[in-house]
Chain A
């Protein structure tokens, strides 16, 4: 249990660094996990070179989905839209530093799904 609820996950869940909304912003996307009701919206501001300069997420969900959102946004600042497109499931698991079963994996990957849908401009499927 200590493995799953690592300090960083609890910390980011309780005091996220990137929670909020950016209005106006360049990219915004919102999606939910219909099975559990987790909902994540991600807003990005992108500079002329296509690099993310500001990022924020909003919504509600479990510690895993919320911490994953926060850690993901921290990781994408300074990255280009093309680099975001290349992010994988493993990148998220590495950020969280945990391994997850199939049900909780959906929670962890929701922000990845949202940010990819945002940068592609269409709703993408689960990246598993």
Chain B
């Protein structure tokens, strides 16, 4: 693998121990559920293992060797993640449990300080539950108005309506970069610029974009951005909130406890500086180190190369699936899109499709993918979803097609 020039993607599956397993004797695992969670390369697993074997200690306090090592590994990871997304400063990256917690942090800290009754928050119809429910809770509590940008039948945001709701002068606009169901890549740069011109702060749910394409927070000029390590080769239990320094500085703490304080008296406290102000209690240290290793692994491949590889796979998947008369694809077909293909199969419930594919070793998702309102919009109780990542190959798509032939054999 090289940082320069062509990457040999055929060798990448070898770096992932789990991809060497069979789901039953003689049947290789074909993992097409990376939009739910990605698999982990040896480099990530061994970085976490090495931390527990050699450097395990609590961070930021002890002066002993292990505490120094653990602290420096943890903070190194923050620097790696910050550099990966082009943040101006490492302390603009707050470690959270996941994307959901990062969005909730903004909802509880920034929004509760800055929003009042009658203020408007703009969301979209394609949002994942994690970018709906925190705002619904807030709206209920503060009597805040939620406005939604509709999704067109082709799977794009209706930007005309977006401009109309921006004219209502919302305080906050929060939307996803890439849809986990449709694969739509939203025109975020233009949307952020338009939101700023309308005077709104922008929160970007980047759970499905940061793992798959180059994302630069300064280029986008985004105010807040949330993403999870586990969808980008890292462990579960760790994610990040990026926030512009000026916004984070002015925000009250989220959770209270150790590490987020400078001084504590019996009745009062002085909050710590960024980023520690938002990281109360002992954090997920090993997971943060695994996150850093994942970022190293992706950086070595290069995110341009990752995006190119996935584009090739998803285009091939769309073209081959379109040839199966029983298969109906959901979301954009021609436009550049994320590494996701959601589909239905005539007369067969997505659960049954997933079950038959599982028998062939193929892991796909069946359900509403935590986007119930979006499925309601398309009048679909559920869909099957195949999602791809760096370790998938064109052969995986061929196996998916073969698996779908089995669906026909059982239900045809």
Give A contacts to B, CB under 8 Å. 1, 4-5, 10, 14, 35-39, 60-64, 66, 104, 107
Contacts and interface: CB of A to CB of B under 8 A. Distances in A.
B351 A36 contact: yes
Given A37-B367, A38-B381, A62 B359 contact: no
A63 B352 CA distance: 7
Q: Is the interface of A mostly helix, strand, loop or mixed?
A: mixed
Contacts of A64: 351-352
Contacts of A4: 355
Contacts of B196: none
Contacts of B351: 36, 38, 61-64, 104, 107
Interface in B376-412: 381-382, 406, 410-411
A17 B350 CA distance: 23
Contact of A10 (B355, B366, B367, B410): B410
A39 B368 CA distance: 14
A104 B367 CA distance: 12
B356 interface: yes
A38 B351 CA distance: 10
Interface residues of B, number: 18
Interface in B327-378: 347-352, 355-356, 359, 366-368, 375
Given A63-B352, A64-B351, A36 B367 contact: yes
Contact of A61 (B349, B355, B375): B349
- Among B355, B356, B375, B382, the one with the most A-chain Cβ atoms within 10 Å of its Cβ is B355
A84 B161 CA distance: 52
B410 A37 contact: no
A60 B375 CA distance: 15
A37 B368 contact: yes
Contacts, number: 49
Contact of B382 (A1, A37, A66, A104): A37
A10 to B, nearest CB: 7
B390 to A, nearest CB: 28
Given A10-B411, A37-B368, A1 B359 contact: yes
Contacts of A107: 351
Given A10-B410, A36-B367, A60 B381 contact: yes
Contacts of B411: 10, 14, 63
Contact of B381 (A10, A37, A63): A37
Contact of B367 (A1, A14, A35, A63): A35
Contact of B352 (A35, A39, A62): A62
Most B-side CB within 10 Å, residue of A4, A35, A36, A64 = A36
A60 to B, nearest CB: 6
Contacts of B375: 37
A66 B381 CA distance: 14
Contacts of B366: 36
14 contacts: A1-B356, A5-B410, A35-B367, A37-B367, A37-B368, A38-B351, A61-B351, A62-B349, A62-B351, A62-B352, A63-B348, A63-B349, A63-B351, A107-B351
B24 to A, nearest CB: 10
A66 B359 CA distance: 21
Nearest to B347: A14
A66 to B, nearest CB: 8
Given A36-B351, A36-B368, A107-B351, 13 more contacts: A1-B356, A1-B406, A1-B410, A14-B411, A35-B367, A36-B367, A37-B368, A37-B375, A38-B351, A39-B381, A61-B381, A62-B350, A63-B411
